[in-house]
Amino acid sequence: MSIKVVRTKSEFEGTISEETALVDGRDVAAWGADAGLTIVGKRQTRVDGIARVTGRARYTQDVYLPGMLHARVLRSPYPRARVRRVDASRAQALAGVRGVLHRSNAPKAAFRGEESIFRDEVRFAGDEVAAVAADTEETAAAAIRLIDVEYEILPFVADLEEAMRDQAPRLDEKGNVTESGKLDRGDVTRAFADASVVVEATYRTSTQLHNSLETHGAVASWDGDELTVWESTQHVFGVREGLKTALRIPYSDIRVLCDYMGGGFGSKGGAGKYTIIAAVFARRLGTPVRCVLTRDEENLAAGNRSATYQTVRIAARGKKIHAIEHLSWSNAGQGRWVADPTGPTNGLYDIPNLRTRSYKVVTSLGALASFRAPGYVEGTFALDQAIDELAERMGEDPLALRRRHIARASDPVTGLRYSLKRLAACYDVGEREIGWHHRKPDGLRGSAPHRRRGYGMASQLWGGSGLPPAYATVHLNPDGTAVLRCGTQDIGTGTRTVLAQLVAEELGLEVGDVRVELGDTNSQYAPISAGSLTVASVGPAVRLAAKDARLQLLDAASGLLEVGATELRVERGAVIGKGHRTPIGEVLGQVKDFTVIGKGSRF
Amino acid sequence: MPKAPRFVGPGAVDIAFEVNGDGVSVHVPPQRTLLDTLRETLGLTGAKRVCDEGTCGACTVLLDGAPVYSCMTLAVACAGQSVETVEGLATEHGLHPVQAAFIEHDAFQCGFCTPGQIMSCVALLRANGSPTGDDVMRAVSGNLCRCGAYPNIVAAALSAAKKTQR
């Protein structure tokens, strides 16, 4: 095996970073149209369907361990306040309460750049102030109401546009507003002066809450110095990283598991404070602890999609869009990053003159969290509404106008050539399927005078190329069944099924003969299940592992069957060569306990 | 089986009822919900706690045949009654037709709402052997799916109804 060093620029959820990765020098070619696939690309019901319809699928919230305690969190009712005093004596005295954590007695635990999980100055309504572990959830819930907290209430600002004003309470040393993205192309000032039509518009989008059905939560259990955490997450290795940083324990002592998970929509990318609380309590009290957010807490403190305030100036010259200026402000709450709503404006259409700016606005709200194409949904709304308004002023068909601005050859931001660009084909299909030719610019009047029916369209842009590295192993058992191990997650998108298909196709098995084990940091590293990058990241590693297993199997079979390896192939669970079809189990069964272990990775 | 006493508590009490055909006896405080009793005391974690306030339907079980929100039902109120959960649907002969149809029609993504959706559909099909799409939508109108699998849920229930009729 040859290991190569790869340096790439990668973009994840709006942040471009330089990355260095060590990768397996082997590669696997993409399957072409002539690959003769029999499993991949064919209809396949979910391999975990039975587990999911029988109630047997075990989600984090279904993990109940012997002796497990229940933790609940006391959260600040104020958007900004200094915590002067926490008196937990009444809570501690309640029968069934086993422990209380707050800023005076909690161990130092680094979390997202801060030293403790409990702040001296709380920054949003819902910020963690204390936590209780008790025998039952009811007792824990009663106990947090008995914690006496003295707050010094401080000035706050939660609204985006209020926070942008000069007289707003200053929440950050650098000011509430900081520039988070910019792009300049061509000469916008001159382009607007030369324009034949100019439209100016302001767009606002509101805060959105993810509300995954399974709330954020974790169960922590220690065995000596070894910590096991079950967490509802899109990234078990991200949770492991958070635990390592907070608890200062080595990777080898941490195991994070997520078998089934009830939705994340971007918000479950790493450890939460509830994870640390469960782990700290479990260690201190010597018994497993479960800390699962209630629905109220989920809405207060588990992330949101930022509200935005956006202005767009768009100009036409002749039949074409000549220039766009798009400025966007996002309410990041207490988030350390912010998504970029100008992304679609920068890269979706081919526009000669462009000026975009995006700004992060700090407010007294909970931190934003990634939420299904963060920033891009908000930005597309503003951009494509503005294009519609421009088309109307120009007397143009909105679809025809967009067709003139497809970036055909290369990405307008990076300049990289597209390997494939199908936007024009998407427009054709959309036009046909929704019956665009029926559209009337003024809409169709309905039965009630205030009601109209209309046709609308928009385009969307998102990059989902993969996030290196990813690793996988495929064990081929002597009976011809296989086990794939990969530390990715199935968040409901069908990852288990897709990976089983890949292994079956590449290794020559039936899908039913492949068992897929995911969501375990004791397995092989895989990136976050987010940003439409899972199959692109993990798929090639899984294929390589299956291919490696197939080649080893053929090697072994060649010796056992006394046929040259190049004359053999594997198909539907059997080794085929020289007119003979021998089931894998029969070939490998000749050698007791022989197991093929295939390995794969991808950059 | 004893009928529910009129007043119980204030401390924990013994309650007997039937779950998926088996008699069970539990010792529960009067404020403990049927959902928490199923999940924590009886280890039946199919029904999920999502909103815990009777708005999402993920905790739906059948109580004497009728779909109820088990998060809004106290365990003590179930004494002497029969509870059916998603765990009780499949038999040694295989999946319940609604379960099989949910797989066939891919009527879920993350699957967290699925046990509740299935119980609502099972109750519907017992009451109405040939439902329309509207009937199905009404039956699952109290079951929230955050992933958006509704069209497939309706298709699954209709297909299960057809197969059951045959």
pLDDT at A193 over 80: yes
H/E run at residue A356: strand A353-362
**DSSP class of A484:** E
Q: Is the peptide bond before A527 cis (omega within 30 degrees of 0)?
A: no
**Which range among A37-41, A453-457, B120-124 shows the weakest confidence by mean pLDDT?**
A453-457
Q: Which of B39, B56, B106 sits opposite A45 (nearest CB)?
A: B106
- Residue of B48, B59, B110 best to disrupt the A interface, most CBs of A under 10 A: B110
Instruction: Tell me if B50 and A214 make a contact (CB, 8 A cut-off).
Output: yes
**A472: Cβ–Cβ under 8 A, 6 or more apart, which residues?**
A484, A485, A486, A524, A526, A538, A541, A542, A544, A545, A599, A600, A601
Percent above pLDDT 90 for chain A: 88
Q: Is the pLDDT of residue A16 over 60?
A: no
CB A53 within 8 A of CB B99: yes
- Sequence-distant (6+) residues with CB within 8 A of A353 are A185, A186, A187, A188, A190, A191, A322, A323, A324
Q: Which two tokens stand for residue A527?
A: 């990136």
Write the pLDDT tens digit of every residue in A554-584.
999 999 999 999 999 999 999 999 889 999 9
Q: What is the pLDDT of residue A30?
A: 86
Please provide the average confidence, as pLDDT, over all residues in chain A: 94
Chain A: nearest CA to B107, how far in angstroms? 10
CA pair distance A356, A186, nearest whole angstrom = 12
What is the pLDDT at residue A11?
A: 55
pLDDT at residue A119, as a whole number: 97
pLDDT digits 0-9 by tens, A211-262 = 999 999 999 999 999 999 999 999 999 999 999 999 999 999 999 999 999 9
Total-model pTM: 0.95
Give residue ranges of A with CB < 8 Å to any B CB. Answer: 45-46, 49-50, 52-59, 61-62, 64, 137-138, 211-215, 260-263, 265, 294-295, 491-494
Please tell me if residue B27 touches chain A, with a CB cutoff of 8 Å: no
Asked whether the beta carbons of residue B112 and residue A50 sit closer than 8 angstroms, the reply is: no
The SS3 assignment for A547 reads helix
Q: What mean pLDDT comes out for the span A162-173?
A: 96
CB-nearest to A61 from B49, B99, B108 is B49
Phi and psi torsions of A316, nearest 5°: -115, 150
Of chain B, the percentage scoring pLDDT greater than 90 comes to 91
Rounded CA separation A199/A192 (Å): 10
Query: Please, how many CA atoms are within 13 Å of residue B116, restricted to the half-sphere of its CB?
Result: 28
In this model, does residue A592 exceed pLDDT 90? no
pLDDT bracket for residue B35 (50, 70, 90) = very high
Largest CA distance in chain B: 51
Q: Is the pLDDT of residue A94 over 80?
A: yes
For the cut 70, the answer to whether the pLDDT of residue A21 exceeds it is no
pLDDT in tens, A524-546: 999 999 999 999 999 999 999 99
Q: In sequence order, which ranges of A348-421 are alpha helices (DSSP H)? A: 376-394, 398-403
CA distance B130 to chain A (A): 22
pLDDT for residue A449:
80
List of residues 6+ apart from A513 with CB closer than 8 A: A480, A481, A482, A504, A573
Distance CA A551, CA A543 (A): 12
Return d(Cα B12, Cα B15) in angstroms, integer. Answer: 9
B106 neighbourhood in chain A, CB within 8 Å:
45-46
User: Which among A47, A54, A294, A496 is the top mutation candidate for probing chain B, defined by the most B β-carbons within 10 Å of its own β-carbon?
Assistant: A54
The C-alpha atoms of residue A380 and residue A459 are separated, in whole angstroms, by: 8
B88 in contact with A, Cβ within 8 Å? no
Classify each residue of A558-580 as buried b or exposed e, where b means 16 or more C-beta atoms within 10 Å of its C-beta.
bebbebebeebebeebbbbbeee
Phi, psi of A254 (to 5 degrees): -120, 130
pLDDT per position as a tens digit, A52-61: 999 999 999 9
Contact yes or no for B87 and A54 at CB 8 A: yes
Q: How far apart are CA A92 and CA A131, in angstroms?
A: 11
Q: How confident is the model at residue A373 (pLDDT cuts 50, 70, 90)?
A: very high
**How far does CA A599 lie from the centroid of its chain?**
26
In degrees rounded to 5, what are phi and psi of residue A509?
-115, 175
At B127 the pLDDT is 97
Give A214's contacts in chain B (Cβ within 8 Å): 48, 50, 110, 112
Looking at residues B42-71, what average pLDDT do you find? 97
Cα angle B96, B102, B104 (rounded to 5 degrees) comes to 100
Q: How far is A267 from chain B (nearest CA, A)?
A: 14
Of B36, B108, B146, the CB nearest to A52: B108
CB contact at 8 A, A101 and A277: yes
- N residues, chain A: 603
Closest CA in chain B for residue A372: B147
H-run or E-run covering A452: strand A452-453
Q: Render pLDDT for A240-253 as a digit per residue (tens, 0 to 9).
A: 999 999 999 999 99
On the question of pLDDT at A43 being above 90, the answer is yes
Q: Are strands A482-485 and A514-517 parallel, antiparallel or unpaired?
A: parallel
Yes or no, beta carbons of A55 and B47 under 8 Å apart: yes
- Quote the minimal CA–CA distance from B28 to chain A in Å: 12
Q: How confident is the model at residue B11 (pLDDT cuts 50, 70, 90)?
A: confident
> Is the pLDDT at A428 greater than 60, yes or no?
yes
User: How far is the alpha carbon of B26 from chain A, nearest alpha carbon, in Å?
Assistant: 16
- Return the percentage of chain A with pLDDT > 70, whole number: 96
Token pair, residue A543, equals 């294929």
Q: What is the mean pLDDT of residues B25-47?
A: 96
Question: Which candidate from B53, B58, B114 shows the least CB-CB separation from A52?
Answer: B114
Listed range (A319-323, B32-36, B100-104, B162-166) with the worst mean pLDDT? B162-166
CB contact under 8 A, B104 and A45: yes
pLDDT of residue B3: 57
Residue A167, classified by CB atoms within 10 Å of its CB into exposed (0-12), middle (13-18) or buried (19+), is exposed
Hey, is A39 helix, strand or coil? coil
Pairing of strands A3-12, A148-153: unpaired
Q: What are phi and psi for residue A544, nearest 5 degrees?
A: -65, -40
Q: Give the pLDDT band (50/70/90) at residue A2.
A: low
Contact criterion met (CB below 8 Å) for A418 and A410: yes
Mutate to test the interface with B, among A43, A52, A210, A260 (most CBs of B within 10 A): A52
Give the pLDDT confidence score for residue B2 in this predicted structure. Answer: 52
Burial class, A421, CB count within 10 angstroms (exposed 0-12 / middle 13-18 / buried 19+):
middle
pLDDT score at A9: 60
Environment class of A589 (CB within 10 Å of its CB; exposed 0-12, middle 13-18, buried 19+): middle
Query: What pLDDT is stored for residue B89 in this prediction?
Result: 98
B159 close contact with A: CB closer than 8 A: no
Task: Give the up-direction half-sphere exposure of residue A127: CA atoms within 13 A in the CB hemisphere.
Answer: 26
What chain A residue is nearest to B149 in terms of C-alpha separation?
A: A492
pLDDT digits (tens, 9 = 90+) for A474-497: 999 999 999 999 999 999 999 999
A143/A74 Cα distance (integer angstroms): 9
Residue numbers in A near B89 (CB within 8 A): 54
Q: What is the mean pLDDT of residues A16-21?
A: 66
User: Residue range A584-603: average pLDDT?
Assistant: 91
Answer whether B115 touches A (CB < 8 Å). yes
User: What is the per-residue pLDDT for A389?
Assistant: 96
**Any A CB within 8 A of B99 CB:** yes
Note whether A238 and A488 are within 8 A (CB): no
| Residue length of chain B | 166
B111/A50 CB distance under 8 A? no
pLDDT (average), residues A119-137 = 97
Query: Per-residue confidence at B8, pLDDT binned at 50, 70, 90?
Result: low
The predicted structure's pLDDT at residue A28? 81
Query: Is pLDDT larger for residue A201 or for residue B165?
Result: A201
Contact yes or no for A213 and B113 at CB 8 A: yes
Distance from CA of A55 to the nearest CA of B (A): 4
pLDDT of residue A97: 98
- DSSP letters, B42-89, are S---SS--SSSSSSS-TTEEEETTEEEEGGGSBGGGGTT-EEE-GGGT
**Range of lowest pLDDT (A2-6, A484-488, B60-64):** A2-6
A453 bridge partner residues: A444
For A157-173, what is the mean pLDDT?
97
DSSP A86-129: EE-HHHHTSTTEEEEEETTTSPP--BTTBS-SS-SEE-STT-EE
Whether the predicted pLDDT of A445 surpasses 90: no
User: Cα A177 to the chain's mean position, in Å?
Assistant: 26
Would the CB atoms of A295 and B53 count as touching at under 8 Å?
A: yes
Sign of CA dihedral A422, A424, A430, A433: negative
